[in-house]
Structure 1
Amino acid sequence: MTLPFSVFEDHLRLSVRLTPSGGRDAFDGVEVAADGTLWLKARVSQPPEGGKANKALIALLSKTFRLPKSAITLMSGETARKKILRIEADPEDFEITFKRLMND
């Protein structure tokens, strides 16, 4: 399985395609863009106004991967659907949880 995140020496970078006002907070699998880029598809119930959807995404990731919210920061895409997040986490633990999430 190819994954929508990259591992660096001291962090991970996760690519997410976010749907705000999506009715519920959940992940909807992995999307392959036309250029071959992989994105984790996520939806949150919060609207995009005032950064509410971004905060809801960070809360969802924090809960799912059992990380403090402070370990997840938005690197790019603050007002776009496609976002890159920096995650301070053990890469092996993150990958195991991610694969388990995608198989549910």
Structure 2
Amino acid sequence: MTTDLQLEFDGTAVLLPVRAQPKSSKNRIDGIHDGRLKVCVTQAPEKGKANKALLKVIKDGLNLRRSQIELHKGETAGLKVFRITEITPDELHQKIRDALNKSG
């Protein structure tokens, strides 16, 4: 497991790469794997349910408002990118560190 999260900033938002783990036993942020934030959700990947659950886990885990976060890429893939506005990459890194310290 690497701790080097590959965040991109497109000028207006931070692009957060995520590895989705659907059908998990718990909803949680599970660390950083291969440069991506690993997020586990209990929902199965059908009809967008897992994507909605992922959004909620990331929003709650990183203490974001719903209006700040959207799925940017990977609607049907396990590797996704979420777009997060009104935050700098440094602030997002800190929120991720805080979330991982709480869960671990």
Which category describes the TM-score, using the shorter chain as reference length?
0.7 to 0.9
State the partner residue of 1:3: 5
- The equivalent of 1:76 in structure 2 is 73
Unaligned runs of at least 5 residues, structure 1: 33-37
**Structure 2: how far apart are the matches of 1:24 and 1:5?**
25
1:38-49 aligned at under 5 Å gives the runs 38-49=35-46
Which region of structure 1 is more displaced relative to structure 2, 89-98 or 8-17?
A: 89-98
Give the paired residue count: 99
> Which of 29, 33, 44 does residue 27 from structure 1 map onto?
29
| Superposition map of 1:44-59 within 5 A | 44-59=41-56
Match of 1:15 in 2: 17
Kindly provide the CA deviation profile for residues 32-73 of structure 1, in whole angstroms up to 9, marking residues without a partner as x: 2xxxxx111111011111100000010111111221222111
Cα offset, 1:76, TM superposition: 1.0
Q: Percent identity?
A: 32
Structure 2: gaps of 5 or more residues:
none
Please state whether the residue corresponding to 1:3 is helix, strand or coil: coil
1:4 to partner: Cα distance: 3.1
Structure 2 length as normaliser, TM-score? 0.84
Structure 2 distance, partners of 1:89, 1:22, is 30
Assess if the C-alpha contact under 8 Å between 1:67 and 1:89 holds in 2: no
TM-score between the two structures when normalised by the length of structure 1: 0.84
Distance in 1, matches of 2:53 and 2:17, equals: 16
CA distance in 1, matches of 2:6, 2:66: 20
Q: CA RMSD of the aligned region, Å?
A: 1.5
- Range 39-48 or range 86-95, more displaced: 86-95
